[in-house]
Structure 1
Amino acid sequence: MGENVLFLLILLVCIVETEAQYKIFNVITYNASSNGNTDNSEAFLKAWSDACKWKGKSTILIPNGTYTLRGPCNSSINFRLEGLLKAPIDPKSFASDNWINFKYVNKLMVGGGGSLDAQGAYAWKMNDCQKNPNCRPLPTSMKFDYITNGYIHHMHSFNSKQSHFGLYRCNNMTLTKLQIKAPGDSPNTDGIKIGKSTGINITSVNIRTGNDCISMLSGLKNVQIMDVYCGPGHGINIGSLGKYEDEEDLADIIVKNCTFNGTSNGVRIKSYESQLNKTVVASNFIYEDIVMENVEYHIVIDQHYCSNSGECNLL
């Protein structure tokens, strides 16, 4: 694999319902090295390929250790991370705007108590998208696209280059027992960013980051956020809305039993001074049992988040 190839796990639907025996595919048996320096692409690709061909339930197991991975992978099933995955430091090493990407999977489980270290500090100084319309977005650490019935649990994510976890066009997803951390001054390191998805449950998550702890974009319906600790960061946000013509209505959001400590905002709804040719409706939001300590702005409804001149309130 060339050194500039992105470590990208694209999981395609290959789950065959069968009564065949359950099997664990341990990457160590494929000669993966946990020394933190070896490129394990070949070992991971072989493990994914064999797991996908297995006619029954299977698990990809990444034991304790430090693994450096670069290369594409196509498979599905259970991604069990017990060790530490470290991303390439240089964002130019990535072929897309994601580090790890799961796509088009039904019944996906990701967990195991392991950690993702995106090593984002080197890349943060390159984040100039607010000033440069031709900028290249930095990669999200772990992205889920078109996932149905997903369970993401017991993981640590550190120092993302941009967002830690991203969801797009997902249905019936649970994210629980996650530890998310980046410095308070790290740019655009959203903890969890969600768009155009339905039935999302976020529970028992600790988020300390440099941007939104949770960002909810257009097209979201039936979202429940409970027992989340946020701080530092910019709070739990809806929007920004009103910028793109393909935006969809957003409704039925519950934020309950959450704590904000040392954040710039608590709960916020933000939208542009929209010039769109359509109306985007945001409705039915419930906030209950919210605790705020050392929060600058507790409740914010900002309908002028960005002006027509392009100036934005980045808090």
Structure 2
Amino acid sequence: MQNESYYDTILYVDVYSGSALPSKTFDVVKYGAVGDGKTDNTEAFVRAWKDACSYGGRSRVWIPRGTFLLDSVSFEGSCNGSMAFLIKGTLKAPTDPAKFYTDTWIGFRYLSDLTVKGGGVLDGQGHAAWPYNDCQKNSQCKPLPATLRFDFITNSRVYNLRSINSKSSHINLFACENINMSHITLRAPADSPNTDGIHIGSSTKIKISHADIGTGDDCISMVSGSQNIDIHDVSCGPGHGISIGSLGRSHEHEYVMGISVRNCTFIGSDNGLRIKTWAPSLYSVASDIVFQDIIMKNSRNPIVIDQQYCPSPLIAMCR
């Protein structure tokens, strides 16, 4: 197996200027990060990212072994070269309730040619936040953060990662194109609220494979604007299954089309394959959907098509 030093010597060719730059690693520890599980490392991570983003070659932000406490943070582009965010250690989210109410723990925005990988662990420490999720009783409930959020990301890869105990969704994709996600494990208890595994909206050409997902909500959910989604070799359970919808609540002209779910296994899930539409509903379309070679083991509702979806009477659409 080739070691890390091999990859450090790969040349990045700038097709615009014709220059060749070596790949470069930006180690967060050299920017002051401390992997003791107690120190807030947000500033060190941001400074490492900014330097890597400014570099004109193939940049790698490196998180070594250790436990790194990290506050809510967004890593943004555009960058001057390709970016890799390599997580070897464990990242831990804050447990201070004053820091819960945001939609993102770790976010990536406005980037192309991004790789997030490394074999590390993202620990959302959701046990501290789940008691604050009162959305079933409170129509004005505040958001809790998704562990990983990708907004406006193109031509990128996410693989070889483990996310545990997310406060809300593990991974959220919005306005993304051509994303390949594989060899990921997403885990939260069956009774954890709104801990979707992968939530996709207004995105196209998304591939998800070789994933082990067990959560308190949908293993994978695809809402308005999800198109050309290829899902295969995914294990789901516990959880609410692989869902299309809820449709018709908003985004009237953003249809769901071209969905393929193949060679997937559902073990002890509440649902298997589900399509759900709000009642009442705006005009919506779900078409060109293929479910193939699916195994169900002790799934309560193997196939559900629900055009009267109403999770709570507190939601305005349900009235």
Structure 2 residues without counterparts, runs of 5 or longer = 1-12
User: What is the CA–CA distance in structure 2 between the aligned matches of 1:204 and 1:74, rounded to whole Å?
Assistant: 26
1:272 counterpart (259, 275, 278): 278
**Is the contact made by 1:149 and 1:172 (CA closer than 8 Å) also made in structure 2?**
yes
Matches within 5 A, 1:177-216: 177-216=183-222
2:159 pairs with one of 120, 133, 153: 153
Q: Which residue of 2 aligns with 1:29?
A: 30
Q: Identity over the aligned pairs, expressed in percent?
A: 48
Is structure 2 residue 46 aligned with structure 1 residue 45? yes
Structure 1 residue runs of 4+, over 3 Å off?
A: 15-18, 71-76, 307-312
Deviation, 1:274, is 2.6
CA separation of 1:280 and 1:83: change in aligned 2, threshold 3 A:
same
CA RMSD after TM alignment: 2.0
* CA apart distance, 1:52: 1.8
Deviation for aligned residue 1:181: 0.4
Give the 5 Å matches for 1:42-191: 42-70=43-71, 72=73, 74-75=75-76, 77-94=83-100, 96-191=102-197
Aligned-partner residue type, residue 283 of structure 1: S
Q: CA deviation at 1:70?
A: 2.8
Deviations 1:151-210 (A, max 9, x none): 000000000001000000100001100011000111110000000101000000000111
Give, in whole Å, the separation in 1 of the partners of 2:245 and 2:294.
Answer: 20
Taking the aligned partners of 1:128 and 1:310, their CA distance within structure 2 comes to 11
**Paired residue secondary structure (1:20):** strand
CA distance in 2, matches of 1:73, 1:302: 36
- 1:73 and 1:210, CA in 2 relative to 1: closer, same or farther beyond 3 A? closer
1:71 Cα offset (Å): 6.2
Deviation at 1:301, TM superposition (A): 0.4
Q: How many residues align?
A: 296
Query: Normalising to structure 2: TM-score of the pair?
Result: 0.88
Residue 91 of structure 1 and its aligned partner are, at CA, apart by 4.2
In the aligned structure 2, how far is the partner of 1:250 from the partner of 1:184? Answer: 27
1: distance between equivalents of 2:313 and 2:99?
Answer: 34
Instruction: Give distance in 2, aligned partners of 1:170 and 1:53.
Output: 23
**Are the counterparts in 2 of residues 273 and 307 from structure 1 also a CA contact under 8 Å?**
no
Contact 2:73 2:107 (C-alpha < 8 Å) held by counterparts: no
- Aligned-partner SS, 1:46: helix
Task: Determine the C-alpha separation between the residues in 2 that align with 1:307 and 1:120.
Answer: 22
Contact 2:110–2:153, Cα closer than 8 Å, also in 1 = yes
Q: Is the Cα contact below 8 Å between 1:91 and 1:138 reproduced in 2?
A: no
Structure 1 residues 200-256: Cα deviation after superposition (integer angstroms, max 9, x where no partner): 000000001111000110111111000000000010000011111445111010000
Distance of 1:308 and 1:206 partners within structure 2: 29
Matching residue within 278, 289, 314 for 1:285: 289
Quote the offset at 1:42 in angstroms.
3.0
Q: Is the 8 A contact 2:73 2:105 kept in 1?
A: no
What is the match of residue 232 of structure 1? 238
Q: Contact conserved, 2:28 with 2:61, CA < 8 A, in 1? A: yes
